[in-house]
Structure 1
């Protein structure tokens, strides 16, 4: 067997300018293809049926839920106008048992969580209906502002009897079973929610991005270009790109570790882009590389090529461990020792071990930031001249970004912005803003529910 050196391994994750350009070109091609394709296997570029952004003056009280890859958030959202909101929110972890169980069990649980929220805020409206906006972080084919067929569920979900069914019916059936008078008046994707909610407080927002357990993006497109759309006539519409499902292996710079992650995932050859940049998979990339390096005696030589049992389980090296290690700025990289001792029971790392592990983790994190920046550039270029004005010196374009990777991973936002500027050039890049958009799912869902329920233009 050829010995894999440390430099060989790390360099697999270093992107050249040519590789970055291939990502931009490839994603752009898929963005264009998604505007017209009616192939049910192509879940990209889903019309949201939302045709305008909020003004910032909206008011009212609405329920919202945000179902992501890790947690369910339930919220009572009070829109106060002037871009201000009051939110009472509760977070519930989605267990592995729920993720892989029946659809009925999942939606009964969601109804129970909603009931808990209503008790917490002492919200009793008698027999009147409570209006709810729903953010659903999985692929749906929207058929109306409050209806959508579930197309696919990644992120470790394997629910039975859900794919192909209408999400409004699934949710409201659960509410009926739990005696809750709640009606779903709007369904949006989490990235659409991020875009809508951040536009409520920052009108220059043109793109919404999620960088968390998974990743996705939404942007504003001229409806005339969305040839597969057959709804009411409108000028512009927010599209849920589902860029997580983009990324054909022909243009993605996949390493052997990326390919292994894909092959062992629930759905191989699906969400290949997401598997290279998101919070669920970055730590696993590190683990696979570490296992390889240990076996080749390129690090932790005192283990004599034997991988510790604690490092052998799939997904055992969490992305949050990468954050812990990159948060340590000391030359000794003591964060590496902390993670390996407390989590994996491994002691005795040499200064060279710590330095190499830090460099591996930094390089994988930097690749994720650069690839996400490249995807944002593809969206900016696709919308340029329509809803984005890249060459207008007086135009600022804001990208609202929600998610733990963007918020908590050290230097991720800085690395993204540096990559954006390098790709677009200093002049264009200086007019792009990356802003944290917290809790976009719930607030965005409430905003769209308000507009839909009040009969506004959506």
Structure 2
């Protein structure tokens, strides 16, 4: 297997050469542990460059530190699977199979995970998607912060509106419900909310089966709809990816937040609330955004991370997500540039909340191209018109590069651990999310670092679109197939 390598050997004036050198036969001459390091900063003022690098030292992880992270991740996996205290939920999703090409029928899918809620109708024939209709509905702030009953009645009203528009309100449907919040699952079609995340904080759902609540609200509107599947967007990504590529065994979200799931041997999973004698493998939802919430990762936490955490809505939680999620990368960038400004190494502190992850991607994009003009323009906007030179822009680009490199390293640790754990001839990893799709360098870095961390294992990264929609319908089709087979 060849992997794309961002070798860092082409640095010039702080810029990074971004060619994929591995495919050209280039061998990185550095020792293994150092092949994870970001490109050094080169400025005309070498003393300033050294001082900036010294300030960023905590954010730079070598291979040996990443091995330690991997060891901790493996330990937390084992503890979670055996129902011992762990920062990893390791939730049994009860999804025992992946698409096999025989999926048939018309299914509804609901996707709840942000301010926009989607209702979808999908038709499958011989495993292929032959029809898809989608409608978006906006969820108001009042609904996101109101009662759970109000929210779920609104969701049912949206479904009623959708099927009425199609003239199908009298038909019988199986439904896949993508509920992208941490859950405690009891079966493939039932589960309880553990905690709201993102912008949701509805009351009254403690200990409530969200699938049963949805179905009750649908039946109150005389809709003949059965909730066959309850899953999150990460599981949906795995299913959607497996529909595209038969070797997919891992699903990853790398967007505003981050999570992973994978097919684990059923015999390794302790928590079961349903018969599983014939189940060989089952999808496990890791919920790795919370990795380190118990302090097991404090050895990589920096003062910048502590500052971002203190300013977040959910302080002291979602530790790992705050290193790699798009919701937080811009905040880390702002913290670091502010610290450099206070040390006299950058012209001015950015305005609070002015830097977003889109800025980090922009700085990386220009860094790869050896340019600074758009970076300078953006910095002048967020630094209240401060005088920004080309050298200042290169400092900001280097900070973005170091933060991006660490994010790629850490998500690669998780994926490589799963690839080694599954020990298959080849594992394809289905990945969705805005950071993976839009960051100019992160996919290439992930390929490099996974290959370094799992050197004797064949893998590939596969962009998987719309796991939260297509994936839930496919899972409903799988559940329908299993129900027919077991009846």
TM-score category (smaller protein): 0.7 to 0.9
Equivalent residue, structure 1, for 2:364: 326
| Within-5 A mapping of 1:321-400 | 321-328=359-366, 329-342=368-381, 345-384=384-423, 389=424, 395-400=425-430
- Judged with a 3 Å threshold, the aligned counterparts in structure 2 of structure 1 residues 398 and 443 are, in CA distance, closer, same or farther, namely same
Equivalent residue, structure 1, for 2:263: 220
Does structure 1 residue 438 correspond to structure 2 residue 477? no
Aligned equivalents of 1:111 and 1:399: distance in 2? Answer: 34
Aligned equivalents of 2:206 and 2:70: distance in 1? Answer: 31
- Judged with a 3 Å threshold, the aligned counterparts in structure 2 of structure 1 residues 58 and 10 are, in CA distance, closer, same or farther, namely same
| Within-5 A mapping of 1:152-171 | 152-171=195-214
Equivalent residue, structure 2, for 1:184: 227
Aligned equivalents of 1:95 and 1:297: distance in 2? Answer: 44
- Judged with a 3 Å threshold, the aligned counterparts in structure 2 of structure 1 residues 365 and 339 are, in CA distance, closer, same or farther, namely same
| Within-5 A mapping of 1:291-302 | 291-300=338-347
Decide whether the 8 Å contact of 2:242 with 2:248 is kept in 1.
yes
**Deviations 1:366-408 (Å, cap 9, x if unpaired)?**
1111100001112122222xxxx2xxxxx32100001111111
What's the offset of the Cα at 1:129?
Answer: 3.1
Equivalent residue, structure 2, for 1:392: none
Decide whether the 8 Å contact of 1:172 with 1:183 is kept in 2.
yes
* Counterpart selection for 2:117 from 49, 53, 72: 72
Aligned equivalents of 2:475 and 2:231: distance in 1? Answer: 8
What's the offset of the Cα at 1:98?
Answer: 4.0
* Counterpart selection for 2:155 from 93, 110, 117: 110
TM-score normalised by L of structure 2: 0.82
- Judged with a 3 Å threshold, the aligned counterparts in structure 2 of structure 1 residues 260 and 162 are, in CA distance, closer, same or farther, namely farther
Aligned equivalents of 1:364 and 1:12: distance in 2? Answer: 11
**Deviations 1:275-301 (Å, cap 9, x if unpaired)?**
11111111111111122222222101x
Aligned equivalents of 1:327 and 1:237: distance in 2? Answer: 39
Decide whether the 8 Å contact of 1:84 with 1:201 is kept in 2.
no
Equivalent residue, structure 2, for 1:35: 81
Does structure 1 residue 451 correspond to structure 2 residue 478? yes
Give the SS at the match of 2:194: strand
Equivalent residue, structure 1, for 2:240: 197
**Deviations 1:154-204 (Å, cap 9, x if unpaired)?**
234322222332111332344356665533221012111111121112110
Decide whether the 8 Å contact of 2:289 with 2:321 is kept in 1.
yes
Aligned equivalents of 2:245 and 2:391: distance in 1? Answer: 46
* Counterpart selection for 1:418 from 442, 448, 451: 448
Does structure 1 residue 16 correspond to structure 2 residue 56? no
**Deviations 1:310-368 (Å, cap 9, x if unpaired)?**
x224xx42212212222224434222123234566535311111000011011111111
Does structure 1 residue 150 correspond to structure 2 residue 193? yes
What's the offset of the Cα at 1:62?
Answer: 0.8
Equivalent residue, structure 2, for 1:259: 306
Does structure 1 residue 403 correspond to structure 2 residue 433? yes
Where does structure 1 lack aligned partners over 5 or more consecutive residues? 390-394
What's the offset of the Cα at 1:28?
Answer: 0.7
Aligned equivalents of 2:214 and 2:63: distance in 1? Answer: 46
- Judged with a 3 Å threshold, the aligned counterparts in structure 2 of structure 1 residues 96 and 285 are, in CA distance, closer, same or farther, namely farther
Decide whether the 8 Å contact of 1:65 with 1:134 is kept in 2.
yes
**Deviations 1:255-287 (Å, cap 9, x if unpaired)?**
112122223333333221111111111111111
- How many residue pairs get aligned? The number is 432
TM-score normalised by L of structure 1: 0.87
Aligned equivalents of 1:288 and 1:380: distance in 2? Answer: 34
Aligned equivalents of 2:421 and 2:234: distance in 1? Answer: 17
Aligned equivalents of 2:198 and 2:306: distance in 1? Answer: 17
**Deviations 1:14-59 (Å, cap 9, x if unpaired)?**
11112111111111111111111166x8661111111111102312
Decide whether the 8 Å contact of 1:69 with 1:214 is kept in 2.
no
Decide whether the 8 Å contact of 1:131 with 1:182 is kept in 2.
yes
The alignment yields a C-alpha RMSD, in angstroms, of 2.6
- Judged with a 3 Å threshold, the aligned counterparts in structure 2 of structure 1 residues 278 and 95 are, in CA distance, closer, same or farther, namely farther
Where does structure 2 lack aligned partners over 5 or more consecutive residues? 1-47
